[in-house]
């Protein structure tokens, strides 16, 4: 299981897939190097086919923007055995494979500390930033860097803004932010460098729920502007008070 293995395979998808090891307990499927909905759709189709795959030694399948990392038990299956099995299953993916993904609305009170900066950086008014942020339908490309944090693509490039040079030491749960051409929501209190433009009263991560993360990879998300009074009312309801 040396680290020099790297192979390409053309399948019935727009791009060929590259396979390579990550350490001695994981294999990575790479679909390309460009962040796009088309590539992420490829990822989701393959994940949909792997979700019910009963391969001995398979531990976990983790999708990201343009990759899938598959963790396995090297005492049960070798890298080459898993590679061969993956190539066979990927070759047989039907063109009309469907992947799960729900449409969800997230209410946002646009009061973020960086809203004015995002507007100034892009030569817009705050109202224009709000309109441009709340108009698109976003795709959840991956979940990271803390549990339940959704990285979403599909944001209007007119409000794209770089991360902060010096991250904040604390960003509260529910903060809605922008980093480059991505948007996301902080599910728990954590340090972070995204530009905060608003807050949602919804709990994105709750261990007491059957599915702790409100959003999953493949979901489509719309942000809905709300007033301060609506934010307080929904926040109170969300906290169970």
> Between 94 and 121, where is the model more confident?
121
Q: What is the mean pLDDT of residues 7-29?
A: 71
Angle 37-50/79-91 helices, nearest 10 degrees? Answer: 110
Enclosing H/E stretch for 141: strand 138-144
Res 4: pLDDT: 32
The gap from C-alpha 186 to its chain's centroid, in whole angstroms, comes to 12
Give pLDDT tens digits for 145-202: 788 999 998 999 999 999 999 999 999 999 999 999 999 999 999 999 999 999 999 9
Ordered domains of the chain (ranges, CATH): 7-91 (3.30.1360.40), 103-238 (2.40.100.10)
Between CA 163 and CA 169 the distance in angstroms is 14
Res 15: pLDDT: 58
pTM for the model: 0.74
* pLDDT over 90 at 17, yes or no: no
The gap from C-alpha 180 to its chain's centroid, in whole angstroms, comes to 15
Instruction: Tell me the C-alpha to C-alpha distance, in Å, between residue 101 and each of 6, 13, 223.
Output: 31, 19, 16
Q: What is the mean pLDDT of residues 200-216?
A: 90
């Amino acid at each position: 299981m040396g680290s020099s293995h790297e192979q390409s395979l053309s399948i019935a998808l727009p791009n060929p897939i590259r396979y390579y090891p990550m350490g001695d307990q994981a294999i990575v499927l790479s679909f390309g190097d460009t962040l796009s909905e088309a590539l992420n759709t490829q990822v989701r189709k393959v994940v949909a086919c792997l979700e019910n795959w009963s391969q001995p030694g398979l531990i976990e399948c983790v999708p990201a923007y343009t990759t899938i990392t598959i963790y396995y038990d090297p005492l049960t299956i070798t890298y080459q055995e898993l590679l061969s099995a993956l190539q066979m299953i990927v070759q047989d993916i039907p063109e009309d494979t469907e992947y799960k993904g729900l449409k969800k609305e997230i209410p946002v009170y646009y009061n973020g500390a960086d809203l004015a900066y995002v507007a100034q950086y892009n030569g817009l008014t705050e109202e224009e930033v709000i309109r441009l942020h709340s108009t698109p339908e976003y795709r959840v490309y991956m979940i990271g860097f803390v549990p339940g944090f959704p990285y979403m693509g599909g944001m209007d490039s007119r409000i794209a803004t770089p991360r902060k040079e010096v991250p904040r030491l604390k960003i509260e749960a529910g903060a809605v932010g922008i980093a480059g051409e991505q948007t996301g929501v902080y599910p728990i209190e954590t340090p972070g460098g995204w530009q905060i433009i608003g807050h949602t009263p919804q709990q994105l991560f709750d261990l007491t729920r059957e599915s702790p993360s409100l959003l999953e990879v493949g979901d489509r998300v719309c942000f809905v502007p709300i007033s301060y009074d609506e934010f307080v009312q929904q926040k109170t309801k969300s906290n169970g008070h």
